[in-house]
Amino acid sequence: MRLLAAAALAFVATGLHAQPLRPRVDAWRRAHEREILDEAFALLAIPNVASNQDDIAKNVAFLTAAFAKRGVTLEALRAPSGGSPALYGERRVPGATRTVVFYAHYDGQPVAGGGWDLDPFTPRLSRYRNSVATEQVPLPAPGDTVDPELRIRARSASDDKGPIVAMLAALDALQALQQPASVNVKFFLEGEEEAGSAHLGELLRTHKNKLSADAWLFFDGPVHVSGRPQIVLGVRGVMGVDITFHGPSRALHSGHYGNWAPNPAVLAAQFVAGIRDANGTIRIPGFYADVPPISAADRALARAISVTDDSVRRSLGLSRTEAGNAPLGERIMRPALNVRGIRAGNVGGGAANAVPTNATVSLDFRLVPNQQPARIRRLVEQYLTAQGYTLTRDPNAAATSTDRSRLVSMVWDEGYTSVRVPSTLASVQAVKRLMTKAYGTEPFTLPILGGSLPLYHFVEQLGATVITVPTVNADNSQHAPNENLRVQNLWDGIALMVELMSGLGREWPGVVK
C-alpha cells in the first residue's frame, strides 16, 4: 500500500501541479494579503518575553488556535525542570518517505531601554528610506494588495514571528491551490530561544522519539545584505562573560588619591587591550590551537558573499574595517571576541573627579567548529591568573577582600558550541534547488552564520541534520528598537515554505518502508 501511495503522489506531481508554483502562490497571496497581515498583527500584538509566563501562555493559546484552524494540532512540550513550552505539531502525508521539521521561535527579546518610535507591541506598517522609517501607512482594504517595500514594525516581526506567519499562510496556500505536500511536516516552535534556551536540551531529550526526522529546517536569521537568499550550513557558538575589576572600597578624590590608588577602569582597559588587537586577533595564549584553517572551498564561498562589503561599509559610515578590509564572509568563519560594554564611574554631567570602586567588562566570544566553551573559559581564567589576579565567582567576595585591586569577579554564560553540516549533503542540495525555484535565483551558500543559535542541542540530543533557511530582511533591526520585517520578505517566505513542503519529497526521495 505504501508503494501505491507513493506512486500516486508522484503521478499527481507530474500532472497539473508540476507547473511552476511561485506564480500560483503569488496569485493566491495577492487575494489574501489583508488576511495574512491581520493575523500577523494579531500575533505581534502579544508581548512575548520568555520571563513573563502569562504572556507566553497568551502566545501559546493564539498559536494553538491558529494551527488548529489549518488542521494541525499543537501540543505543548515541556522540560521536566520547567521553562516555556515548545509547541509541536505534525501533518502526515500518505506515501511520504521523508519527515522534515520546520523550526521557529515565538519568544522575543526584551524591549527595556527605550528607543522605539512606537509601542513595540502595536504593529504598524511603515514606509522606509535608507533603512529608516519615514511614515506610517494604513493596512490595505480586504482584497487589495500592499506595497511590498513597506515594513511591519513590531518586536519579533523578523525574529522570529514573521516566519511563523509564513508557515500558517503556506498551509493555507497548499489547501487553496490543492497542492499536495510531498513530505511529512513537523512544526517545532521554541518558547525561550531569546532567553538562552536553558531548558531546550532537556526538552529535546525528554521528547526525542516524537521529534525524530530526516532534517530540521531553521527559519531564523536574515537573508544576505544584498537581498539575495542564502542557505546557511552552520552557526558560530557563543560564550559570554562579565569580568569585574575592583579598586578602593569607596570612591576616592582623584586629586588626593589619583596615581596612588589603583584605578579599576584602567585595569579593565589594560585587560581589553591585552587580549584583543585592533584587527580582531585574540591574544590569549593557546586560543587558536583548536581552530582549523579555512579551506579553499570555504574561502571561495566566503568571498562570493562579500561582494557587497563596500556598500555595507558606506551605509555604516565606515571608511575601513578590521584586518585591512578583510572580506566579511571570511571574518565570520573565524572566532571573534566582542566587547559588549565597559562600565566604570560616570561620564558627561554625571562625571566626578574620583577613582571608581570597580569596573566591569562584558565580553562575548563567537566560536567556530571544534572550539568548546569550557576550554575558552579555562584559557581566559588562566590568562588573568598569569596577570597576578585572584579569581572569584562569589559576588560578595570584594566586600571582605584585603587585596581588592588583585581580585577579579567573573560571571560566565553557559555558552554553546558551533554546528555545521557539509554542503554536499543531498538534503542541502535539495533545499538549494527549491530555494532557486521559489526566489528565481540561486541562493548564496553561507558556510557558517555570523550569529549564534543553539543548534548543538538538536545535534547532541537528536542527531539531527540542521539547515538554516533565513527569510527576513538583513536590515531588520533585530534585538534593537524599531525591529521590522519587509513585507516582500514575508511574501517570499510564504512561497518558499510552499515550495519546500510540496517539493522536498521529490527533490530528496527517501526509501519506501
pLDDT tens digits, one per residue of 350-382: 999 999 999 999 999 999 999 999 999 999 999
Say which residue the cell 521553562 belongs to: 83
pLDDT at 388: 97
Residue span(s) of the chain under CATH 3.30.70.360 come to: 237-305+330-412
- Is the whole-model pTM more than 0.95? no
- Dihedral angle at the C-alpha atoms of 251, 253, 259, 265, nearest 10 degrees? 40
- Looking at residue 113, what is its pLDDT? 76
| Residue limits of CATH 3.40.630.10 in the chain | 2-235+418-507
Residue 13 pairs in a beta bridge with none
pLDDT band for position 504 (cuts 50, 70, 90)? very high
Nearest to 271 by CA among 380, 118, 126: 380
Burial grade of 145 (CB within 10 A; 0-12, 13-18, 19 or more): middle
**Helices within 145-227 (DSSP H only):** 162-176, 200-206
Q: What is the pLDDT of residue 303?
A: 85
Q: What is the pLDDT of residues 306-317, one digit of tens each?
A: 888 998 899 889
Strands (E), 308-380: 336-343, 354-355, 358-367
In the chain, the amino acid numbered 145 is T
211 has pLDDT over 60: yes
Residues sharing a CB contact under 8 Å with residue 295, sequence separation 6 or more, in sequence order: none
Residue 512's pLDDT is 62
For the domain covering 2-235+418-507, report its CATH number: 3.40.630.10
As to burial, measured by CB atoms within 10 angstroms (0-12 exposed, 13-18 middle, 19+ buried), residue 214 is middle
* Positive or negative torsion for Cα 304, 438, 108, 112: positive
Q: Indicate the SS3 state at residue 363.
A: strand
pLDDT attached to residue 340: 95
Could you identify the residue written with the cell 521529490? 506
Question: DSSP states of 448-510 as a string?
Answer: SBSS---HHHHHHHH---EEE---B-TT--TTSTT-EEEHHHHHHHHHHHHHHHHHHHHHS--
* pLDDT tops 80 at residue 4: no
pLDDT digits (tens, 9 = 90+) for 47-92: 999 999 999 999 999 999 999 999 999 999 999 999 999 999 999 9
Question: pLDDT tens digits, residue range 421-438?
Answer: 999 999 999 999 999 999
pLDDT of 3 strictly over 60: no
Angle of helix 487-507 relative to helix 162-176, nearest 10 degrees? 60
Quote the pLDDT of residue 2: 43
* pLDDT score of 360: 98
Q: What residues does 198 pair with on adjacent strands?
A: none
pLDDT, residue 513, reads 55
pLDDT at 301: 85
* Surface-to-core class of residue 396, CB atoms within 10 Å of its CB (0-12 exposed, 13-18 middle, 19+ buried): exposed
Helices 426-439 & 487-507, crossing angle to 10 degrees?
A: 130
In which band, very low, low, confident or very high, does the pLDDT at 451 lie, cut at 50, 70 and 90? Answer: confident
Distance linking the first and last C-alpha atoms of the chain: 10
pLDDT band at 448 (very low <50, low <70, confident <90, very high): confident
Sign for the CA dihedral angle at 190, 195, 201, 203 comes to: negative
Residues 6+ apart with CB under 8 A from 319: 313
User: What Cα–Cα distance (Å) separates residue 336 from each residue in 121, 269, 371?
Assistant: 34, 18, 12
Strands 237-246 and 358-367, by their bridges, are antiparallel
C-alpha 169: how far from chain center: 22
Tell me the per-residue pLDDT of 267-316, one tens digit each, with 9 for 90 and over. Answer: 999 999 999 999 999 999 999 999 999 989 888 888 888 888 998 899 88
DSSP class of residue 3 equals: H
Residue 187's nearest CA partner among 70, 349, 338, 274 is 70
Tell me what percent of the residues of the chain surpass a pLDDT of 70: 96
More confident residue, 293 or 2: 293
Mean pLDDT, rounded, for 224-239: 92
Q: What does the CA dihedral 4, 9, 15, 18 come to, rounded to 10 degrees?
A: -150
In angstroms, the CA 494 to CA 473 distance is: 14
Helices (H) and strands (E) in the chain, counts: 17, 21
The DSSP bridge pattern shows strands 184-190 and 82-91 to be antiparallel
Average pLDDT over residues 162-186: 98
Q: What is the mean pLDDT of the chain?
A: 93
Check if the beta carbon of residue 66 is closer than 8 Å to that of residue 58.
Answer: no
The answer on pLDDT for 386 being more than 50 is: yes
Q: For the domain with range 237-305+330-412, which CATH number is right: 3.20.20.70, 2.40.37.10, 1.10.3720.10, 3.30.70.360? A: 3.30.70.360
Under 8 Å between Cβ of 126 and 135? yes
* SS3 category, 235: strand
